[in-house]
Structure formats: C-alpha cells, structure tokens
Amino acid sequence: MTTVTSMKCACDSCLCVVNIGEAIEKDEKYYCSQPCANGHADGEGCGHSGCGCS
C-alpha cells in the first residue's frame, strides 16, 4: 500500500504542492494557505513564490 504524503493544493488556480501533515484542512480538502482555504474571499493570493493564484 502507498501512503500519500503530499498533493496539489485543493484551490483550482493554485500551483502549490502541500505536505498533508502541514496543510490547512477544510471540508476534507488540503490547502497550502489560509487564503486558498477561504476561497480567496479577500482577493489575497497564497504568497508562495511563483504562484499567482487568487
């Protein structure tokens, strides 16, 4: 059996890969940052280098 330890951020426009142990979990999905988990309600991106999600 394979254990998944990282996956793409659940935010559709985000390019980040997150470590599940460090991710923000919301509705059984994993996000790289609070703005992604909040659906970018305030228009803020995740702030990670090279990612332009919003």
Q: Tell me the pLDDT tens digit for each residue of 29-45.
A: 999 999 999 999 999 99
Whether residue 23 lies inside any domain: the answer is: yes
pLDDT in tens, 4-26: 899 999 999 999 999 999 999 99
pTM: 0.90
Give a yes or no: residue 53 inside a domain. Answer: no
The parent domain of residue 28 ranges over 6-37
User: What is the model's pLDDT at position 2?
Assistant: 87
Domain count, the chain: 1
State yes or no: pLDDT of 1 exceeds 90: no
* Cα–Cα nearest to 19, from 35, 27, 30, 29: 30
Instruction: Give the start-end residues of each E strand in 1-54.
Output: 6-8, 17-19, 24-26, 29-31
Query: Would 16 be classed as within a structural domain?
Result: yes
Is residue 17 situated within a structural domain? Answer: yes
Residue 44 lies inside a defined structural domain of this protein: no
